[in-house]
Amino acid sequence: MPHLTRRGTLQAATAADRMGVGVPGYAHPLVAPVEWAELTRPGAPLHWTVLNVANGPGARPDPHCLEAAGRLRNAGVRVLGRLDVAYGARTFAELISDGHRFRDWYRVDGFYLDRCPVEGADLPGVRRLASTLSGLADDGAHLVLGQGTHPHPGYAEIAHQLVTFSGPWADYRWSQVAEWTADHPPERFCHLVHGLPRTHLDEAVRIARWQGAGTVFLTDRSDRDGQNDPYEALPGYWDEIVSRIGPGVSE
C-alpha cells in the first residue's frame, strides 16, 4: 500500500497550466448527437475522447461511429479505442485483435485500456500488451490505462497516462494522492468524477489541480446502483467546465 499524501503548491500550479478534459466515452452517436458535436467545438480543452462502439470495436464497421471519429480527427481531437482488459481476464490475442479493428476501421490515435490491472504481478502482461498496441500506429499509439485507482508505480512507465481516480464526488472530495505520483508531470494522470453538484465544481477543479491531475472529466450525472454510465452524456455544466479549465486558466 503506497503512502498517501497531498502534493505541494509547485505541482498544483503546473497542473493548472496544463489541465484539459478527457472524455471516457459517450453513448452511441445516434443516441448522443449533441455530445459528439460538442467535442468539435473550437477552443474546447480536449486531450482525448474514447470511442466505444459495442464494448469494443464491434463486429463490423459502424458508419455512424466512422463519421463521428472522422469529424473529431478533422477537428484535431485525439480518438482512443476502448479495450476492456477485464482486470486481466481477456486474452492477449483478443485484445490485439480488437486493437487492429479499431485501427483499421476507425483510424484511432490510440487506446483506452479500461479495467486495467493495478498489481505489480500483472505488470509484465500489461507491458507486453501496451508495447504491441503502441506498434499498431506508425508514430506510436497514445495509451491511457483506465485503472481508476493508484496502481503499482511501474505502470507509469508503460503508458502515456493513468486514470488514478474514477468514482463519485463523495469519495473524491476526501481523496488523497499516492506519493510516487510526484515523480511524474501532471499530464501523466487523469481523474474522472461523477455525481458532482454544480455548487462544488470549483472545489473539484481545485482538488484536481492540487493533486496534480492534468486531465479530468467532471459530471453531475450519477451511477445509480450501477445501472447507468454517468459518463455517457454531457454534464449539465459543460460550458462552465470549458471556461474553468481552458488554456491559460489558473487559480
Number of domains in the chain: 1
Asked if residue 182 is part of any domain, the answer here is yes
Listed in sequence order, the DSSP H helices in 19-86 are: 33-38, 63-74
pLDDT tens-place values along the chain, 251 residues long: 333 444 443 343 343 356 999 999 999 999 999 999 999 988 889 999 999 999 999 999 999 999 999 999 999 999 999 999 999 999 999 999 999 999 999 999 999 999 999 999 999 999 999 999 999 987 889 999 999 999 999 999 999 999 999 999 999 999 999 999 999 999 999 999 999 999 999 999 999 999 999 999 999 999 875 667 899 999 999 999 988 886 544 44
The one-letter amino acid at 240: E
- Three-class HEC string of 174-240: CCCEEHHHHHCCHHHEEEEEECCCHHHHHHHHHHHHHHCCCEEEECCCCCHHHCCCCCCCCCCCHHH
Distances (CA, A) of 1 to 47, 88, 151, 152: 30, 20, 10, 9
Asked if residue 250 is part of any domain, the answer here is no
Tell me the residue range of the domain where 36 lies: 4-245
The CATH number of whichever domain residue 178 belongs to comes to 3.20.20.80
Helix %, strand %, coil % of the chain (to 5): 40, 20, 40
Asked if residue 251 is part of any domain, the answer here is no
Contact 70, 108 (CB under 8 A): no
